[in-house]
Each structure stands twice: as structure tokens, then as C-alpha cells.
Copies of this chain bind each other. A is one copy, B any other.
């Protein structure tokens, strides 16, 4: 690597001390306006950039945020990531990003690397493996170091930190209520997320909606998928052995794939069967019929989480210990063609 210009070089050029240059560049009031101007001008035209490693060695302020995401091929997380990137960039932060690939081991490994001062804050959505195992020691230890964490979407009560989540309970509650209002009586729920807290919350929202409307829950209509390969068989069985006139899919693919299966079995959508899916990505808008979806506003979640983290990082310095907060974002139901119209 070609040697790049340092404070020393500038100091030599002006025949002043290194600290003078440092202060000038940091716009200190100590330095005369004239000198500051000259030094800054010279620095700019010589394309001076402080060495980030040297700076971080001194200050515990490296303007870098660690991001851990379970799976970037998931459109929701890609949306969140784009929100994170936007806000980080606006505030002059870099991102070190890792994909945990839904694995506890990889998540732990990643966190350990970041822990040694590589980042001044962490944004994380828990991997499925982590939630399943219930092992949060790596995160607790990270938080103990005093580096702020903001969890988003997939969070746990067992780690004390700020959180940004969607109202999973209400999202499912509203979706189920919508199905009921449009005339569905036998509503199934398909959950590939039962290892995750968000999956459990959504299930509760579904059950509560049924209850409030006087519909008894039917265990045969509650399908938990733990292995992707079993999806087709389970849904096929659901649709052939039971009377079903509504389906709530807890993530993007469960709704879409269930719809494909139902159509292949001769169901008319939405006349015979209404479908709503969580996550409003590209897919639900492109299939036909277009699928009514619970929108999770992924980009906004990313933006909010990053704002909170940066605020926490910058306040941390001033030692004003603020209480941890959990921001719960509303979902919205985007009504399309896979559900019947409301009948007043």
C-alpha cells in the first residue's frame, strides 16, 4: 500500500508540530483562523484522511456498527439492511456485516470477533438456532462490555438492551379478524416459525382473534412446520382432511406455497379459500391472485433501530444512562385479491 499522507507530513510541510495540525484539523479553538485555513486547505488538496486504526486505538469511537442478520436472501432482512445502511451512512458510520445463517455457532463466532472493540455498537436479529437453544450468553457478555446493542425483529427478553420490533400479536390479530369479517369460519394457520418468539406471538394473535369472535380453535388447523421438506405434505394433508376456508401464513413463503398447493387441489382463491401472508415482499404482488399481506415495513425497522443505536452510542459517552426501550411498530394490512371483500 502506498504510504498515505499523515499528520506528520503536514506538520513537516508547515514547520509546525503534529499536535497543531491535529487540532487544526479538528477545528480546535486553540489554533488561529489563518493557520487552520491553510492546514485544512493543504490537507484537503493532498487528500488527507486520518488513519482509522490509529484513531480508534486512542478513542473508543470508531464509527463502526456491527450488523448480524440471519439470512440476506430473505427479502424482509434485505429491506431492513437497506434501512440500516441508509441511516448509518447519513451519520457517517460504517457497517461490518455478518450473516449468521440461522446458526447459533456462527452467530457466537461473529459476536466474539466484533466484541474486541471492532465496533461501537451492534444491530442484531437473532438466528433461529439461537432462539431455539435459548443460549444468549454471547450477547450478555457483549452487552457487559458496555457496547450498546439494538435487537430488531427477532429479540429476546433475556438480554437487556434496546429493541425494535413489530407488533406481531396485533398483526396476526388483525389479519385473522379480517378473514373472519370477510366470512371465513375455518381458518388455518401455517407457522414455520414456531421456534421463534415472533412465531409464538403471531399464533397468540390468531387464537385471540378467533376467541373474540366466538370461533373455537381447532388443533387440526394449526400447522407448525419444522422442516421445509415437510411443507407440501403437511399443507396438502391440511387441505384434504379438513374443511378450511381461510389461511394465515406466518411468513412470505408459507402463504404463497400454500396458495399454489390449494390451487392445484382445485380451490378457487378467494371464493373457496382466502389467504393472508406475513411479510410484504415482491412475491405477493406478482403471483396471481395477488396476496393480501401483513406489511412489516422492513426498511423502517432498520432505520429506527439504527437511529436508536447511534443515539445510544453517542449518549454512552456522556454517560447519561437512559432506560432500555422497546419500540413496537405497527404492521399494516395490505388488502389484495386473495381475500374476499368486506360485506357490510
Contacts and interface: CB of A to CB of B under 8 A. Distances in A.
Contact of A96 (B95, B106, B287): B95
A106 B118 CA distance: 24
A95 B94 contact: no
Interface residues of A, number: 46
Interface stretch (A46-54, A192-200, A266-274, A331-339): A46-54
A1 interface: yes
Copies per complex? 2
Nearest to A4: B116
A285 B138 CA distance: 39
Interface of chain A, main secondary structure: mixed
A113 interface: yes
Contacts of A282: 282-283
Contacts of A134: none
B1 A117 contact: yes
A132 B219 CA distance: 58
A116 B62 CA distance: 14
A82 B78 contact: no
Contact of A78 (B72, B96, B116, B288): B72
A94 B112 CA distance: 12
Contacts of A53: 52-54, 56-57, 62, 117
Contacts of A128: none
B116 A52 contact: yes
Contact of A118 (B52, B60, B81): B52
Interface stretch (A9-17, A139-147, A169-177): A139-147
A121 to B, nearest CB: 11
Contacts of A97: 85, 95-97
A222 to B, nearest CB: 26
The 6 closest A-B pairs by CB, nearest first: A49-B116, A53-B56, A53-B53, A1-B146, A97-B97, A2-B145
